[in-house]
Amino acid sequence: MLRTAPYSRRMSEQITHDAEHQRYVIADGDERLGMLSYSTREDAVSLDSTVVLPQYQGRGIAGRLVKHVLDDLRDTTTKRVEPNCSYVVDYLQRHPEYADLTTRT
């Protein structure tokens, strides 16, 4: 049976944009918790994969990461967002306030 380490959101949890590797990383101090990878085209940003390490799953980390990424894209680009990751697709269905990002032209 896989045991998971206890985790509670701490003040040191940060999300950084690693543009060189086209990903956003969520970490707690020096420990990486997960990441969201993306790719870009002339007219769109494709959100390709959201990964949270198994021992940290089920704690809302992916949701905080996706929210941060969508907020950042709203503020930094006019490109359309393409949700190609199943988690992002589900997140967008639960959060219609981001629907405008997928219909930009």
pLDDT single digits (tens) 19-76:
999 999 999 999 999 999 999 999 999 999 999 999 999 999 999 999 999 999 999 9
* Domain annotation covers residue 2: no
* Domain annotation covers residue 20: yes
* Domain annotation covers residue 4: no
* Domain annotation covers residue 7: no
Task: Enter the pTM of the model.
Answer: 0.88
When divided into structural domains, the chain yields a total of 1
State which residues form the domain around 67: 13-102
* Domain annotation covers residue 19: yes
* Domain annotation covers residue 5: no
Q: List all residues 6 or more positions away from 52 whose beta carbon is below 8 Å from its beta carbon.
A: 26, 33, 34, 61, 62, 65
Which pair of structure tokens corresponds to residue 16? 């950084």
In CATH, what number is assigned to the domain containing residue 68?
Answer: 3.40.630.30
Query: Which residues are paired to 37 by β-bridges?
Result: 23, 49
How many Cα atoms are found within 13 Å in the side-chain-facing hemisphere of 95?
A: 16
Tens digits of per-residue pLDDT, 4-18?
445 555 558 999 999
* Domain annotation covers residue 23: yes
